[in-house]
């Protein structure tokens, strides 16, 4: 029954999610959905620990009601792709 309620809340954007942003790498992660803010807050500690073990820096945690469309948003990926891009017309045969 609880899973059904969480699904319903999630559908309407009323479920709680853990939003974790990191400065290095520059990413935003969403974990959830959760039925209560207390439940989300309890689980957040484990997600932070995992990111710390992966050497993430500048970790910020926010518990909020939302409906994320993407669970991991990496701002660094676009920069990496641009850095390794080779021009099509480089003048080489």
* Residue 29 CA: distances (Å) to CA of 24, 26, 55, 76, 93: 13, 10, 15, 13, 43
Could you tell me if residue 90 is inside a domain? no
Could you tell me if residue 10 is inside a domain? yes
Show the domain range for 40.
2-83
Could you tell me if residue 91 is inside a domain? no
Per-residue pLDDT of the chain (93 residues; tens, 9 = 90+): 888 888 888 888 889 999 999 999 999 999 999 999 999 999 999 999 999 999 999 999 999 999 999 999 988 655 443 334 444 444 444
**pTM: predicted TM-score of the whole model, two decimal places:** 0.77
Could you tell me if residue 88 is inside a domain? no
Could you tell me if residue 89 is inside a domain? no
Tally the residues of the chain. Answer: 93
* Residue 75 CA: distances (Å) to CA of 17, 24, 29, 30, 47: 20, 10, 11, 14, 19
In the chain, the number of structural domains is: 1
């Amino acid at each position: 029954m609880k899973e059904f309620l969480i699904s319903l809340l999630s559908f309407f954007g009323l479920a709680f999610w853990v939003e974790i942003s990191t400065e290095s790498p520059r990413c935003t992660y969403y974990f959830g959905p959760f039925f209560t803010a207390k439940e989300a807050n309890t689980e957040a500690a484990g997600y932070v620990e995992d990111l710390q073990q992966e050497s993430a820096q500048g970790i910020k945690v926010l518990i909020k009601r939302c409906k994320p469309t993407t669970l991991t948003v990496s701002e660094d990926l676009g920069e990496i792709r641009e850095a390794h891009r080779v021009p099509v017309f480089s003048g080489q045969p």
